[in-house]
Amino acid sequence: MSEPVVTSARAPSLWHNRDFMILWSGETISQLGSSMSFFIFPIIGYSLTGSTTQAALALTAFALGSILFRLQAGALIDRTNRKHVMIVANLAGVGLYGSLVVALAADRLTIVHLILVALLTGIAGSFFGPAEQAAIKTVVPARQLPTAFSQNQARQHVAMLVGPPLAGVLYSVSRSIPFLVDTVTYGVSALAITRLRAPLTAPERTTTGPSKMRHEIAEGLRFLMSRGFFRATVLFATIVNFGANALFLVLTLKLLRAGVHPAAIGTIDTIGAVAGLIGAVMAPSLIKRVPTGLVAIGTALLIVVACIPMAFTNNVVIVGLLLAVALIGNPAGNAAVSSYLVAVTPDRLQGRVSSALGFTASAFQPLGPVVGGVLLAIFGGQAAMLITAGIISISVVALLASAEVRHLPTPDKWDVSTAAA
């Protein structure tokens, strides 16, 4: 029998949900620090090597680390206390970024050290993310999941908006200060998580061992792929993440070749961050009123509609406005998919299913910049932009072709009987 998400009783505002606010505020502070570090990574890398190729290696290492052990992370999260996983991941960040501060202070930082920190940070994040997502289901009522994930989207865009310019100012004072701030934010997040009251233990104790872990990982993948909505979402996300990473590299280099100043190119990211923040504010109301499947499809179509015209202009304002169109629906799409995933997934599978979605959606993402660079070298800026925009356009077919996506209703009508079972 279908079991919809209950909406009859009005739950207290999430602002009054103590445990959620601890999770949200702690990670908001941490993401602000991380956005500063990610902005500084290539700058530090270039100052160490004088090579643009080597300067990008730290961000590539982070992307690789994010997927390297992601499936194993999901299995571990479903075996152990999720609160402990989040604390350890944050403490790892304290140690990693603290090592950069010490190395810079002693003038002993090397590119290998920087790349290693980025790689290990990505690995730590692959444990923290699914653990936090599983924790949200414990501390937030089902009917408020879309709002909770919308607020998570908002914090990402706030970090994107504030972090890079703040990092630039602090870097001008001392190269180590942005990393020092990030070290502190990881510590603040770890301390905040220790104050959680909700029990975040794994729902069932399983035996350990590599053979058993393989079965557990496979169970999470099977659950994800057993639903048509998630099969279509995985295919869409895999293609769009790959295509978007290629497109934005081509866009940046295309504008640089056209003589656009790097500072002007940076305003494009600012416009996009503002649009994303506005979209995050609008997301809860949109998700409540529009069928979830249509939210996902609409978000994808906005990206396609915005990306194709970018090939025909070098005007920073026009590109920024097009990026705003692409991103304004993104928070609602991400929040809708994330909250539906959490709502229908049994608690014992939360870590594995979340990790499986993250792994499959990001598996080819690190290749995007490489392919974008090759296309740019062979075909030139405009043609490379159109090719990458075409790749992104193909991703929408996965959503449009899925009856489960087209017909998925609003959250008050979601079938969560699988979770109840």
Please name which of 384, 353, 348, 334 lies closest in space to residue 220, comparing C-alpha atoms. Answer: 353
Between CA 20 and CA 101 the distance in angstroms is 31
For helices 57-68 and 350-362, angle between their N-to-C axes, nearest 10 degrees? 140
Quote the mean pLDDT of the chain.
87
Between CA 177 and CA 99 the distance in angstroms is 13
Whole-Å CA distances, 189 to 142, 196, 304: 25, 11, 36
Q: Which phi and psi angles does 324 have, rounded to 5°?
A: -60, -40
* pLDDT > 90 fraction of the chain, expressed in percent and rounded: 53
Between CA 32 and CA 155 the distance in angstroms is 8
Total length of the chain? 421
Ordered alpha helix ranges (H), 50-144: 52-55, 57-68, 70-77, 82-105, 111-139
In tens, the pLDDT along 174-188 reads 889 999 999 999 999
pLDDT class for 331, splitting at 50, 70, 90? Answer: very high
pLDDT surpasses 60 at 297 = yes
Residue 27, Ramachandran bin (φ over 0: left; ψ between -120 and 50: alpha; else beta): alpha
Between CA 39 and CA 25 the distance in angstroms is 22
Between CA 379 and CA 384 the distance in angstroms is 6
In tens, the pLDDT along 41-84 reads 888 888 888 876 677 788 788 888 998 999 999 999 988 899 99
pLDDT class for 15, splitting at 50, 70, 90? Answer: confident
pLDDT score recorded for residue 128: 94
**Can you tell me the mean pLDDT for 365-391?**
87
In tens, the pLDDT along 253-277 reads 788 788 887 667 777 878 888 999 9
**Can you tell me the mean pLDDT for 95-106?**
96
Please name which of 138, 132, 99, 133 lies closest in space to residue 116, comparing C-alpha atoms. Answer: 99
In tens, the pLDDT along 391-401 reads 999 999 999 99
Ordered alpha helix ranges (H), 308-380: 316-328, 330-344, 350-362, 367-379
Query: Which pair of structure tokens corresponds to residue 406?
Result: 């087209």
pLDDT surpasses 80 at 192 = yes
Q: Which phi and psi angles does 158 have, rounded to 5°?
A: -65, -45
pLDDT class for 153, splitting at 50, 70, 90? Answer: confident
Q: Which phi and psi angles does 377 have, rounded to 5°?
A: -65, -35
Please name which of 194, 4, 34, 195 lies closest in space to residue 118, comparing C-alpha atoms. Answer: 34
Q: Which residues pair with 415 in a beta bridge?
A: 4
pLDDT surpasses 50 at 2 = no
Q: Do 49 and 111 form a contact (C-beta atoms < 8 A)? A: yes
Between CA 388 and CA 104 the distance in angstroms is 38
What type of residue is 289? R
pLDDT surpasses 80 at 204 = no
Query: Which pair of structure tokens corresponds to residue 83?
Result: 């609160």
* pLDDT > 70 fraction of the chain, expressed in percent and rounded: 93
pLDDT score recorded for residue 235: 95
pLDDT score recorded for residue 252: 80
What type of residue is 410? T
pLDDT surpasses 50 at 7 = no
Query: Which pair of structure tokens corresponds to residue 358?
Result: 């993250």
> Residue 219: CB partners within 8 Å, gap ≥ 6?
349, 352
pLDDT class for 3, splitting at 50, 70, 90? Answer: very low
Q: Do 273 and 397 form a contact (C-beta atoms < 8 A)? A: no
pLDDT surpasses 90 at 341 = yes
Residue 107, Ramachandran bin (φ over 0: left; ψ between -120 and 50: alpha; else beta): left
> Residue 215: CB partners within 8 Å, gap ≥ 6?
none
